Amino acid sequence: MLELYILLIFMIIAAVVAVEVKDLLSSVIAVGAVGLGLCITFLVLKAPDVAITQLVVEILALIILIRATLKKDLPFSTTGRWFLNTLITLVFVAAFLSVAVYALRDLPPFGEPLMRVAKTYLKEGLSETGAANLVGSVILDYRAYDTLGEATVLFTAVIGVLTLVRKVGRKKEAAVAREESDE
């Protein structure tokens, strides 16, 4: 499992670069490096469905993020109580990390999952649903209600974006005419 460690350390380094670099465009591209490393990690961990989805989602997210940061390389101030703020943040992160490590003991050890429910899915999946891809059979047959909720969340997010981006206030007549001629 050496490649897993290498990929995880690469992702952590890329994440630190994304957090600490001054230029916003470089930061966004470093996030893209983290996402593509995550995609290869999913492949190593034997999850091809998730890897394909992560790859295409990463590309789309990168395009949207670059659009948001284009032409706006604004310097931001780091004056003020720099030392105190960093100290408080680091103490909080350290407290979170210690509690998380304590909680990590209850997880099953790496490589030996508890498969109480999944055992049934893996054994009966092909005969009960007829789908060779067991992830697909879990998503759209055994747990399709979950996917219906996901579709609702996605619909809400789309409506939220379209509401935020719309033009506020009453349109002038000329603007309306110009838009109609545009479309």
Partner 1 sequence: MIVYLLCLLLFCVGLYCILRKRNIIKIIVGVIIAEYAVNLLFILVAYRRGGRAPLHSPDAVIENMVDALPQALVLTSIVISLASTALLIAIAMRIYQKYRTFDITKIRELRG
Partner 2 sequence: MSREHEQGMSVIVKTITRLTVGLILLYGIYILVHGHISPGGGFPGGIIIALSFIHLMLAYGKDAALKKLPRYVTSFLEGFGALMFLAIALLGFSGGYFFLNFISKGEPFKLFSAGTILLSNLAISLKVGAGLFAIFVALILFRFDDEGEEE
User: What 3-state class would DSSP assign to 168?
Assistant: coil
CB of 150 to partner 1, least distance (A): 4
Neighbours of 146 (CB within 10 A): 12
Among 90, 175, 176, 177, binds partner 1 (CB under 8 A): 90
Contact 28, 65 (CB under 8 A): yes
98 binds partner 1 (CB under 8 A): no
What single DSSP character describes residue 142? I
Q: Which CB, 114 or 132, lies closer to partner 2?
A: 132
Interface positions, 110-169, toward partner 2 (CB under 8 A): 126, 129-133, 135-137, 139-141, 144-145, 147-148, 151, 154-155, 157-158, 161-162, 165
Least distance from partner 1 to the Cβ atom of residue 165, Å = 6
Residue 37: burial class (beta carbons within 10 Å; 0-12, 13-18, 19+): buried
> Which residue in 8, 57, 95, 176 binds partner 2 (CB under 8 A)?
57
CA distance 137 to 98: 38
User: Does 52 engage in binding with partner 2 (CB under 8 A)?
Assistant: yes
Q: Do residues 31 and 18 touch, judged by C-beta distance below 8 A?
A: yes
Least gap, CB of 83 to partner 2 (angstroms): 35
Q: Cβ 73 to partner 2, closest distance in Å? A: 14
Closest CA to 17 of 37, 5, 6, 31: 31
Q: For residue 66, what is the enclosing H or E element?
A: helix 48-69
Residues in contact with partner 2 by CB under 8 A are 48-49, 51-53, 55-57, 59-60, 63-64, 67-68, 71, 126, 129-133, 135-137, 139-141, 144-145, 147-148, 151, 154-155, 157-158, 161-162, 165, 183
